[in-house]
């Protein structure tokens, strides 16, 4: 890390955060997590929406500015939570102004763009990290503990789903944008599922994908399946869909000794959307009735879900900037995910298995 990676901060010693974008990602995830993290203060927000500006100023006391150009004197760290197509240009500008950067996923449109951004950050001695928050979902932490602890034996197959029932489109660039908008579920929710699969089972050697647009007036994929073959021989089957009239299990992990099955999403997003502070006691804890099960054959027992820890991401940001520790999510690991997503898009287009690497 160079000198610019250790910002001077506000007069009270905290790191001033400039948040670009105050939509769903900015308002419900980044802003409350930054606000609840010791060592960080939400200093400025970039938005042109009057209602969002009023909320950001009233809730956090942040200065609201209409353009990124007005951010540099107000922040030591930039968080990019704007539409996907803007991630790379805004992050590039921030790095060129000597600011470390957090980017919401997906980091970039392509692995090549991500590599260029990572080289720029490394050359400037600046932190560059990506908000792959689902690494801190309670259910994923539980799966990882079961796998690394050997309770499932050798893992044969990971099944993982982000499914919703939204037969009527909500509108907006995520559904109506073309490839330049980096819309669609493959790059949205698929970024999480592929990242989790790689974190759990290691590098990928082959990808097969099926991708469809099921709803009228939608241009980006809304019903996609991805199959990964990992170097170690395990397979991941991943589903993202907005048209699942009956939801499948969030996780189903099959091993040589036992299986784990879990329904329902991690509780942290619903609590953030409901206004609960991520620093509140019990924030990431899941009620017992939502726990998954582990076992084999007819013998299955409840598997307590580990508490989710989204705050650990921004705690890791502080440690990186203040103490020179590693970023909470490395750019290199996200480049691996983008490489797989590109292969999945190619596979769906060509209707073929695509090698990775």
pLDDT digits (tens, 9 = 90+) for 170-226: 888 788 776 778 889 999 999 999 999 999 999 999 999 999 999 998 989 999 999
Q: What is the CA radius of gyration of the chain?
A: 20
CA-angle at 197, arms to 192 and 198, nearest 5°:
100
Question: Would you say 221 and 245 are in contact if contact means Cβ atoms under 8 Å apart?
Answer: no
Please list, in sequence order, all residues whose beta carbon lies within 8 angstroms of the beta carbon of residue 287, skipping any fewer than 6 positions away.
none
Please list, in sequence order, all residues whose beta carbon lies within 8 angstroms of the beta carbon of residue 183, skipping any fewer than 6 positions away.
84, 173, 174, 175, 176, 177, 219, 220
**What is residue 178's predicted lDDT score, i.e. its pLDDT?**
67
In this predicted structure, the answer to whether residue 6 has a pLDDT above a threshold of 80 is: no
Give residue limits of the domains in the chain.
Answer: 3-131, 134-308+339-355
Higher pLDDT, 99 or 10: 99
Closest CA relative to residue 21, chosen from 73, 79, 72, 63 = 79
Structure tokens at 304: 């307590």
Strand partners, 243: 165
Count CB atoms within 10 A of the CB of residue 59. 15
* Architecture of the domain made up of 134-308+339-355: 2-Layer Sandwich (3.30)
Q: What is the side-by-side strand order in the sheet with 128-131?
A: 63-65, 40-46, 15-20, 77-80, 101-104, 128-131
CATH entry 3.40.50.720 includes domain 3-131? yes
**What is residue 4's predicted lDDT score, i.e. its pLDDT?**
40
**pLDDT per residue over 246-268, tens digit each?**
999 999 999 999 999 999 999 99
Predicted TM-score (pTM) of this structure:
0.94
DSSP state of 246: S
CA–CA separation, 326 vs 320, rounded Å?
5
Q: What are phi and psi of 44, to 5 degrees?
A: -150, 150
């Amino acid at each position: 890390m160079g000198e610019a990676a250790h910002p001077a901060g506000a007069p009270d010693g905290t790191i001033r955060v400039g948040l670009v974008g105050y939509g769903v990602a900015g308002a419900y995830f980044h802003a409350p997590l930054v606000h609840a993290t010791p060592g960080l203060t939400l200093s400025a927000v970039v938005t042109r929406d009057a209602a969002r500006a009023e909320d950001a100023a009233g809730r956090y006391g942040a200065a609201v500015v209409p353009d990124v150009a007005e951010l540099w004197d107000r922040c030591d760290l930039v968080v990019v939570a704007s539409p996907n197509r803007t991630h790379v240009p805004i992050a590039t500008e921030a790095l060129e102004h000597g600011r470390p950067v957090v980017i919401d996923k997906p980091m970039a449109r392509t692995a090549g763009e991500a590599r260029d951004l990572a080289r720029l950050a490394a050359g400037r001695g600046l932190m560059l990290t990506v908000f792959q928050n689902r690494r801190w979902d309670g259910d994923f932490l539980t799966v990882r503990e079961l796998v690394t602890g050997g309770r499932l034996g050798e893992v044969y197959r990971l099944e993982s789903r982000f499914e919703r029932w939204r037969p009527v489109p909500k509108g907006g660039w995520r559904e109506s944008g073309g490839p330049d908008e980096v819309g669609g579920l493959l790059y949205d929710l698929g970024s999480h599922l592929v990242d989790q699969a790689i974190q759990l089972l290691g590098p990928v050697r082959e990808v097969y994908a099926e991708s469809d647009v099921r709803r009228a007036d939608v241009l980006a994929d809304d019903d996609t399946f991805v199959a990964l073959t990992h170097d170690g021989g395990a397979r991941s089957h991943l589903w993202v869909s907005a048209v699942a009239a009956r939801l499948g299990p969030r996780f189903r992990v099959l091993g040589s000794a036992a299986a784990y099955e879990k329904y329902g999403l991690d509780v942290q997003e619903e609590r953030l959307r409901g206004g609960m502070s991520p620093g509140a006691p019990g924030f990431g804890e899941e009620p017992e009735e939502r726990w998954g099960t582990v076992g084999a054959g007819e013998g299955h027992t409840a598997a307590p879900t580990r508490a989710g820890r989204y705050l650990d991401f921004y705690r890791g940001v502080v440690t990186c900037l203040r103490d020179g520790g590693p970023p909470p999510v490395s750019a290199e690991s996200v480049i691996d995910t983008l490489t797989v997503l590109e292969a999945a898009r190619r596979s769906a287009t060509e209707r073929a298995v695509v090698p990775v690497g």
